[in-house]
Amino acid sequence: MLEYCATSPDHVFNADSGEELIEAYRSWLPVSDATPVITLREGATPLIPSQALASRIGRGVRVFLKYDGLNPTGSFKDRGMTMAISKAKEAGSEAVICASTGNTSAAAAAYARRGGMRAFVLIPDGYVAQGKLAQALLYGAQVIAIQGNFDRALAIVQDVANQYPVTLVNSVNPYRLQGQKTAAFEVVDALGEAPDWLCIPVGNAGNITAYWMGFQEYRQAGLSNQLPRMLGFQAAGSAPLVLGHTVEQPDTIATAIRIGNPVNRDNALRVEAESGGGFMAVTDAEIIDAYKLLGSEEGVFCEPASAASVAGLLKRRAEVPAGATVVCVLTGNGLKDPATAIENNDAPFHTGLEADTAKVAEVMGF
Ligand code: F0G
């Protein structure tokens, strides 16, 4: 694991400046003047208050949604990818590779192509949401769909990167986590303090590790007085960190976190111990309930995996201390997976109606 010490802890991000993430937090990141910054203006995503969630918990609890689905390729992966691709470019790399449940492949493809590099992405055939596949293809990656799950794809790309001149940009690449830790900086910059609880979906456990790194660095620099409890939520059919062992055949509607053997397992267990946090499973039904609630009551469209953080908070609501501040991380944009939205909603949808004003008024209830 790459260690990096902040050099000028007084830099506070200015969301209005239009700076890309690496410029906004340059002193906290392992970059130099020699690093070519490959950017799509990622980061600076909104922290949205959620009254619908706060009122379900009560007791003066405040809830915020860190909506990282508003990054350029629609997920938090862009934070890590601007770093990983910039550093790969600096090192003279001409090609990158990753395994992915979809979002990493979209981000890797976009940033690699922007940096003039080739991108190879391995995905589990049939288990990547349509929007993500569309992105990887449109950005011009070579997409290789294998008959196996994400865990198998990751093992293959690690082998390939060891044997051939391609840079691995999965979250075992330390620059990925360096970039992703900036989300924690933004949360503290926005709240003026670290939250009491940070609820986050967990697959490969890179993001929870990165957030913890960010919170710790800000605390060490005196920019916050406290550290959050880190609560990681996995889908019940893909919950190796909850069960304490690898899941051979992971299964969940939240395909982004359909992972049975998280590569950052040791880091995840360290974060749990250091933060007094925990891992918990949420069922697909609980994930879909939270997903629908966010859309229909808050106007926030996230992808199913992201809603695991909210499903988890609601499941543990009785344990939230009175007056606490909670942040739920929404990792990806709902538009990534339109099929799941179309199949899981309670909206009245009238199809094939005659094009007639009276008929329209009638179904409107007038
Ligand atoms: N949420 C979304 C939307 C994701 O795409 C992922 C991971 C996670 C949560 C979990 O993050 O792995 O750092 O614990 N997606 C990876 C991918 C595996 O290939 O896009 P994690």
Q: For a pocket test of ligand 1, which of 81, 98, 101 has the largest count of ligand atoms closer than 8 A to its C-beta?
A: 101
- Give 18's pLDDT tier (boundaries 50, 70, 90): low
Q: Is the CB of 267 under 6 A from ligand 1?
A: no
pLDDT at 5: 38
The reply to whether ligand 1 has any atom less than 6 angstroms from the CB of 201 is yes
Question: Cβ(246)–Cβ(240) under 8 Å?
Answer: yes
Give pLDDT, residue 291: 98
CA of 13 to the centre of ligand 1 (A): 25
Average pLDDT over residues 310-323: 98
For the stretch 114-163, pLDDT in tens is 999 999 999 999 999 999 999 999 999 999 999 999 999 999 999 999 99
| 265, 202 contact by CB (below 8 A) | no
Atom of ligand 1 nearest to the CA of 209: 13
Comparing 17 with 273, the larger pLDDT belongs to 273
Q: What is the mean pLDDT of residues 240-252?
A: 97
Q: What is the CA radius of gyration of the chain?
A: 20
The string of pLDDT tens digits covering residues 159-212 is 999 999 999 999 999 999 999 999 999 999 999 999 999 999 999 999 999 999
Question: Which ligand 1 atom is at minimum distance from the Cα of 104?
Answer: 20
Cα(238) to centroid(ligand 1), Å: 13
Tell me, in angstroms, the distance from the centre of ligand 1 to residue 9's CA. 29
Q: Is 255 in the pocket of ligand 1 (CB under 6 A)?
A: no
Cα of 203 from ligand 1 centre, angstroms: 6
Atom of ligand 1 nearest to the CA of 102: 20
Both tokens assigned to 219:
């605390």
pLDDT band at 19 (very low <50, low <70, confident <90, very high): confident
Residue nearest to atom 6 of ligand 1 (CA): 256
Distance 64 CA to ligand 1 centre (A): 20
Closest CA to 300 of 339, 328, 258: 328
Q: What is the pLDDT of residues 224-236, one digit of tens each?
A: 999 999 999 999 9
Between the CA of 345 and the centroid of ligand 1 the distance, in Å, is 23
Query: Checking DSSP bridges between strand 278-282 and strand 229-235, what pairing results, if any?
Result: parallel
Helix ranges (H only) for the chain are: 21-24, 51-57, 77-90, 103-114, 130-138, 150-163, 174-180, 182-191, 206-220, 240-243, 265-275, 284-298, 304-315, 338-343, 357-364
Q: For residue 305, report the distance from its CA to the centre of ligand 1, in Å.
A: 8
**71 Cβ closer than 6 Å to some ligand 1 atom:** no
- Sheet with 95-99, strands from edge to edge, namely 142-146, 118-124, 95-99, 167-168
Nearest CA to ligand 1 atom 3: 332
Residue type, position 185, single letter: F
